[in-house]
């Protein structure tokens, strides 16, 4: 075995692939070879480091030097200065990792300091395509323990005692689900993983599959042993090609090593896994719809009960958990239920992964103990709002969640506190909005999404959300009427109560929460026909600032509606609002920036 | 854009048959087969559905129902370059709508449609999970992130 004096870790998550990390890796290979040190330095393509904003990311150990936004040209500098001469290239380090000329270890950087990584523990640390690396980090040890030392009922007991709840959004106690499936009658049972991560702005499942795919293989096998199943399905979005590829490699490697297949670890236990690709339907994240889709049908939900634990894939008892839920399982087995249940709040144990995005400095993926406040996430980890703008709201739970305003920013995050605020945990998307975002526009955006993705089976969701969207469209176009807010509230209540599945039952949440916290914005749109954030095009006015107008007349020439009056060189120009079509041509045309929209 | 008869070649149907044979014995084979068909033909027109129907012994109506339910399957061929602008939440709050509008104007094509010369298809896609780089667009397999309106003409002109 070769001994290496340094490790170069290059992030290979989707974020960094998009910023060009493959080029960086090629360049490193080439450069290490040119300098004849390819046998001294180990180059590793890892999963997501989490800080996508700073990508492509390169970390060099043993120093833990955190290089960010690396270009191919920078590679030679790192190789020549750092790897050959031992001098860390300060100018290329992530800005927060240098303090008064001292270089901070990566764990001390603001973004990572408050995090606790359980589900993401191997992401960005190991090569996801090398089973040896996973095994070196205690991989498959939990499966070995379970198969050789524990009875299935004991495994379920550990999961129950840990207090783990489903990370896909609903927050149902995982141990109970396992127990129901174990107790269900059936000659054949199935294990399924929900990796149909459809919430816009959420990418935690993808990052786990890309960065640590073996953890899912191991956890599914553990679940198979606990509930008495020998077959598992992973349902993954087709939009995640890298995740699918790495998961397939993991399954193949595990099979080759005898960690999947027959008689695993010499025990009387067989287990195998198959990947099923989604085909682009958000509703397939709902469990009964997902089961229909695995069976090759239209992905439409059906009424529950019977729950999948009794009647799931091909009518057989099925245990369905989310990717992130499974990712915590091996650690719970290894460290014990008590260790896990000490983390978090009274009713929400452990950690949760969030995808932080929108108007925030450090966009990316983070994992925090339950009970961390929203403020800590946004300001300490996220680094605050860019360009000195004011925080307005944070949206959690995707199209099923709601917007949380400044006044509740000190709320500790857990399943119940978010529901109390009219939002929900959801799968963990967290989108930050600043003063420039119009809350009605955001509510309209989510409704547009749910209308598009509603499967059409039940009328409250199919027709009701459409009517709500029409009202919101009217409001943002300046055609809002008094009484619209009340109508929205009434429709919301009815849709929530009468829809068949989670999609419809939660679809009104973005509207209800924005009405609750930002009613004044709705009122100003409806009554004053004004969008205070300057987003809703139809409600804007283009005006000439008299002091800046140089009377050149260019705007009047460019105006397609001929609604700008003035006399060249003599009289300041002005726009006739009643004829203006709000095309913005005058703003672009004015060389003195004297025309603004307000 | 390829004409439908250029797509329905013997070679493509042979490849389809291979894909069907590979999955035939698997339970729930329809969606994996359709995924392959979409890759082989670039779309899943009726002629293709008919062959799948006969081979998998499933009613055509059921197959048509599945094809039209999922957004990954299309009945008609798409443009040579598929421009997908992510309209996930993170991209939306960072003004992805303006990017879509700009591209739509540049290539003179509405969202969801293919340009008259068959070169471009413009799509507003669901979240592709590159939220850290918002706003993001893809052209076939290439990804462009941290976009501003000014970047758009250059990107479009590359293709």
| Cβ atoms within 10 Å of A537's Cβ, excluding its own | 16
Do the Cβ atoms of B128 and A297 come within 8 Å?
Answer: no
List the single best residue of B89, B92, B124, B155 to mutate versus A (max A Cβ within 10 A): B89
Residue A34: count of CB within 10 angstroms of its CB: 12
Find the residue in B nearest to A300 (Cα).
Answer: B69
Based on the fold, state whether residues A427 and A548 are members of the same structural domain. no
Burial of A61 (0-12, 13-18, 19+ CB in 10 A): middle
pLDDT above 90: percentage of residues in chain A: 79
Residue A200's pLDDT is 81
- From the CA of A162, how many Å to the nearest CA of chain B? 30
- Average of pLDDT values for A66-92? 93
Answer yes or no: do A494 and A411 share one domain: no
Taking the Cβ of residue A120 and every Cβ of chain B, the question of whether any pair is shorter than 8 Å is answered with no
The token pair that represents A496 in the structure block: 């929530």
pLDDT at A42: 93
- Please check whether residue A531 is in contact with residue A585, taking contact to mean a CB–CB distance below 8 angstroms: no
Which of A407, A434, A461 is the last residue before a domain boundary? A434
Lowest mean pLDDT among A104-113, A180-189, A461-470, A509-518: A104-113
* Residue A136: both structure tokens together: 């070196």
- Which of B28, B93, B144 is opposite residue A431, by nearest beta carbon? B93
> Do residue A279 and residue B31 have CB atoms under 8 angstroms apart?
yes
**Crossing angle of helices A519-527 and A439-453, rounded to 10°:** 90
CATH of the domain at A73: 3.40.30.10
User: Which DSSP helix (H) or strand (E) runs through A91?
Assistant: none
User: Are residue A328 and residue A181 in the same domain, yes or no?
Assistant: yes
- Position B77 scores a pLDDT of 87
**Do A428 and A446 have their domain in common?**
no
- My answer on whether A164 and A231 are in the same domain is yes
pLDDT at A253: 97
Residues B128, A239: C-beta atoms closer than 8 Å: yes
pLDDT at B1 over 70: no
**What is the model's pTM?**
0.90
Domain interval for residue A556:
541-597
Mean pLDDT of A546-554: 91
Q: Which of A199, A200, A359 to mutate to test the interface with B (most CBs of B within 10 A)?
A: A200
Check if the beta carbon of residue A195 is closer than 8 Å to that of residue A243. yes
Residues 276-295, chain A, touching B (beta carbon < 8 A): 276-282, 293-295
Report, as an integer, the average pLDDT of A106-127.
91
Going by pLDDT thresholds of 50, 70 and 90, the confidence category of residue B88 is confident
On whether any CB of chain A is under 8 Å from the CB of B131, the answer is yes
Q: Does B136 touch chain A (CB under 8 A)?
A: yes
- Average pLDDT score over residue span A563-585: 88
Q: In a 3-state reduction of DSSP, which class is residue A97? A: helix
Question: Which candidate from B28, B71, B132 shows the least CB-CB separation from A364?
Answer: B132
Domain ranges of chain B: 4-69, 81-157
CATH number for A548: 3.30.70.20
As a whole number of angstroms, the distance between CA A28 and CA A37 comes to: 11
Report pLDDT digits (tens) over A146-181.
999 999 999 999 999 999 999 987 899 999 999 999
Which of B28, B90, B93 faces A296 most closely, judged by CB atoms?
Answer: B28
Q: Which residues of B touch A12 (CB under 8 A)?
A: none
Residues in CB range of A197: below 8 A, 6 or more apart: A203, A204, A205, A206, A237, A240, A285, A323, A427, B129
* Set of chain B residues whose Cβ sits within 8 Å of the Cβ of A197: 129
Return the minimum-mean-pLDDT range out of A58-67, A575-584, B14-23, B50-59.
A575-584
Segment A422-435 mean pLDDT = 91
Q: Which of A122-131, A194-203, A207-216 has the lowest mean pLDDT?
A: A194-203
Instruction: For residue A73, list its beta bridge partners.
Output: none
Sort out which chain B residues have CB atoms less than 8 A from A238's CB and list them: 35, 72
Q: Give the largest Cα separation in chain B, rounded.
A: 53
Contact at CB, B132 and A52, closer than 8 angstroms: yes
For residue A260, tell me if it sits in a domain: yes
Same domain, A576 and A557: yes
Compare all CA atoms of chain A with the CA of B64 and give the residue at the minimum distance: A298
Q: Are residues A152 and A187 in the same domain?
A: yes
Number of domains making up chain A = 5
**Chain B touched by A431 (CB under 8 Å):** yes
Q: Which of A313, A341, A369 is the last residue of a domain?
A: A341
Shortest distance between the Cα of A338 and any Cα of chain B, in A, equals: 34
Contacts of B28 in chain A (CB under 8 A): 276, 294-296
Residue A1 confidence class, pLDDT cut points 50, 70, 90: low
Task: Quick: pLDDT tens for A269-289.
Answer: 999 999 999 998 999 999 999
pLDDT at A598: 78
Would an 8 Å CB–CB cutoff place B111 in contact with chain A?
no
Place of tokens 């970047």: B151
Instruction: Find out whether A224 and A271 touch, Cβ atoms under 8 Å.
Output: yes
Same domain, residue pair A46 and A172:
no
Return the SS3 of A357. strand
CA dihedral of residues B87, B92, B94, B100 (deg, nearest 10): 50
Q: What is the mean pLDDT of residues A412-422?
A: 94
Please report whether residue A263 resides in a domain. yes
**Mean pLDDT for the stretch of residues B123-147:** 86
The answer to the question of residue A581 being in a domain is yes
Give the Cα separation of A368 and A119 in Å (integer). Answer: 10
Fold for the domain defined by B81-157: Glutaredoxin (3.40.30)
The mean pLDDT value for B113-133 works out to 86
CA angle, A313 then A315 then A319, to 5° = 45
- Mean predicted confidence (pLDDT) in A458-485: 96
Q: What is the CATH classification number for the domain harbouring A214?
A: 3.40.50.11540
Closest CA to B107 of B134, B135, B130, B139: B139
List A412's β-bridge partners, or say none. Answer: A373
| Contact yes or no for A298 and B66 at CB 8 A | yes
Judged by CB atoms closer than 8 Å, whether chains meet at B89 and A455 is answered as no
pLDDT at A280: 86
SS3 annotation, A426-457: CCCEEEEEECCCCHHHHHHHHHHHHHHHCCCC
Judged on CB neighbours under 10 Å (0-12, 13-18, 19+), A99 is exposed
pLDDT at A285: 92
The answer to the question of residue A124 being in a domain is no
pLDDT of B2 reads: 59
Indicate yes or no: CB of A239 within 8 angstroms of CB of B136: no
Looking up tokens 């705007």 gives: A555
Bridge partner residues of A544 (DSSP):
A595
For residue A513, give the 3-state DSSP assignment. helix
The residues that bridge with A405 in the sheet, in sequence order, are A393
- Name the residue in chain B with its Cα closest to that of A399: B89
Q: Do A522 and A558 lie in a common domain?
A: no
Q: Is the pLDDT of residue B3 over 70?
A: no
Nearest to A282 by CA among A120, A432, A429, A492: A429
CATH number of the domain enclosing A422:
3.10.20.600
Query: Pick the residue with more confidence: A235 or B88?
Result: A235
What is the layout of strands, in order, in the sheet containing A402-405? Answer: A364-369, A351-358, A429-434, A391-396, A402-405
Q: B153: which 2 tokens?
A: 């003409």
Any idea what DSSP says for residue A198? Answer: -
Neighbours of B95 (CB within 10 A): 17
Q: Report yes or no on A533 lying in a domain.
A: no
Contacts of B71 in chain A (CB under 8 A): 279-281
Out of A302, A318, A341, a domain closes at: A341
pLDDT in tens, A277-330: 999 899 999 999 999 999 999 999 999 999 999 999 999 999 999 999 999 999
**pLDDT averaged over every residue in chain A:** 93
The two tokens of residue B120 are 């471009």
Q: Does the structure show a pLDDT above 90 at A108? A: no
Q: Do the strands B81-86 and A351-358 form a parallel or antiparallel pair, or are they unpaired?
A: unpaired
| Best residue in A17, A18, A514 for a mutation probing chain B (most B CBs within 10 Å) | A18
Q: Let me know if residue A129 belongs to a domain.
A: no
Q: Are the CB atoms for A406 and A497 separated by under 8 Å?
A: no
- pLDDT of A228 over the 90 cut: yes
Residue A597 in contact with partner chain B when CB distance is under 8 A: no
CA gap A298, B67 in Å, rounded: 8
Tell whether A461 and A328 lie within a shared domain.
no
**Six-digit token string for A361:** 């400095």
Q: Please state, in angstroms and as integers, the Cα–Cα distance from residue A502 to each residue in A234, A316, A455, A506, following that order.
A: 21, 22, 12, 6
pLDDT band at A597 (very low <50, low <70, confident <90, very high): confident
Average pLDDT over residues A357-374: 94
- Do B130 and A15 count as a contact with CB atoms less than 8 A apart? yes
């Amino acid at each position: 075995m070769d001994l290496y004096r340094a490790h170069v870790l290059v992030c290979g998550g989707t974020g960094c692939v998009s910023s060009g990390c493959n080029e960086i890796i090629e360049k490193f290979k080439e450069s290490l070879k040119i300098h004849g040190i390819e046998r001294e330095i180990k180059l590793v393509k890892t999963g997501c480091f989490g800080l996508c904003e700073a990508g492509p990311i390169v970390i060099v150990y043993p120093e833990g030097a955190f290089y960010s936004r690396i270009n191919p040209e920078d590679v030679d500098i790192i190789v020549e200065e750092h790897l050959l001469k031992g001098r860390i290239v300060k100018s290329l380090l992530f800005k927060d990792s240098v303090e008064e000329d001292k270089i901070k270890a990566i764990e001390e950087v603001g973004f990572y300091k408050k995090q606790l990584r359980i589900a993401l523990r191997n992401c960005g640390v190991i090569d996801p395509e090398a089973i040896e690396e996973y095994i070196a980090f205690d991989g498959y040890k939990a499966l070995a323990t379970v198969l050789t030392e524990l009875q299935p009922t004991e495994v379920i007991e550990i999961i129950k005692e840990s207090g783990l709840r489903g990370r896909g959004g609903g927050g149902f106690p995982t141990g109970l689900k396992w127990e129901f499936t174990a107790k269900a009658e059936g000659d054949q049972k199935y294990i399924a993983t929900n990796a149909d991560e459809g919430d816009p702005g959420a990418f935690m499942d993808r990052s786990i599959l890309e960065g640590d795919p073996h953890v899912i293989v191991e956890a599914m096998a553990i679940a198979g042993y606990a509930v008495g199943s020998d077959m598992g399905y992973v349902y993954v979005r087709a939009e995640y090609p890298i995740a699918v590829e790495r998961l397939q490699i993991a399954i193949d490697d595990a099979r080759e090593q005898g960690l999947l297949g027959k008689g695993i670890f010499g025990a009387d236990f067989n287990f195998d896994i198959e990947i099923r690709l989604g085909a682009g339907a958000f509703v397939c994240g709902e469990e009964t719809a997902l089961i229909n889709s695995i069976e090759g049908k239209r992905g439409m939900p059906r009424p529950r009960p019977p729950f999948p634990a009794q009647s799931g894939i091909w009518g057989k008892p099925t245990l369905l958990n989310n990717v992130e839920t499974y990712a915590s399982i091996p650690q719970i087995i290894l460290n014990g239920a008590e260790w896990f249940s000490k983390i978090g709040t009274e009713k929400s144990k452990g950690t949760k992964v969030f995808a932080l995005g929108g108007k925030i400095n450090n966009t990316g993926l983070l994992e925090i103990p339950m009970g961390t406040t929203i403020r800590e996430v946004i300001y300490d980890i996220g680094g605050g709002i860019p360009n000195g703008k004011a925080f307005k709201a944070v949206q959690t739970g995707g199209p099923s969640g709601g917007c949380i305003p400044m006044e509740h920013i000190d709320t500790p995050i857990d399943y119940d506190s978010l529901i109390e605020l009219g939002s929900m945990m959801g799968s963990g998307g967290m989108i930050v909005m600043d003063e420039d975002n119009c809350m009605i526009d955001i509510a309209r955006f989510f409704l547009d999404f749910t209308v598009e993705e509603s499967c059409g089976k039940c009328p409250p969701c199919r027709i009701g959300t459409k009517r709500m969207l029409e009202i919101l469209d009217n409001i943002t176009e300046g055609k809002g009427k008094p009484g619209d807010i009340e109508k929205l509230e009434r429709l919301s209540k009815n849709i929530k109560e009468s829809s068949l599945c989670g999609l419809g039952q939660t679809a009104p949440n973005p509207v209800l929460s924005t009405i609750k916290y930002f009613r004044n914005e709705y009122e100003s749109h409806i009554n004053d026909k004004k969008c205070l954030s300057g987003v809703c095009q139809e409600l804007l006015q283009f005006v000439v600032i008299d002091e800046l107008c140089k009377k050149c007349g260019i705007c009047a020439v460019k105006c397609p509606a001929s609604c700008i009056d003035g006399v060249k060189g003599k009289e300041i120009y002005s726009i006739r609002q009643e004829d203006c079509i709000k095309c913005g041509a005058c703003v672009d045309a004015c060389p003195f920036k004297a025309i603004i929209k307000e | 854009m390829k004409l439908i008869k250029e797509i329905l070649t013997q070679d493509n149907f042979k490849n389809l048959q291979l894909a069907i044979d590979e999955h035939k014995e698997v339970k729930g084979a329809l969606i994996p087969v359709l995924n392959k068909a979409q890759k082989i033909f670039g779309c899943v027109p009726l002629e293709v559905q008919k062959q799948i129907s006969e081979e998998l012994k499933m009613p055509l109506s059921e197959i048509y129902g599945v094809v039209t339910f999922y957004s990954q399957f299309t009945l008609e061929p798409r443009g040579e370059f598929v421009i997908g602008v992510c309209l996930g939440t993170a991209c939306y709050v960072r003004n992805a709508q303006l990017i879509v509008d700009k591209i739509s104007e540049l290539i003179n094509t509405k969202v969801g449609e293919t340009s008259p010369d068959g070169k471009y298809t413009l799509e507003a896609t669901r979240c592709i999970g590159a939220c850290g780089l918002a706003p993001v667009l893809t052209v076939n397999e290439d990804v462009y992130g941290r976009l501003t309106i000014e970047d758009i003409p250059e990107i479009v002109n590359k293709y």
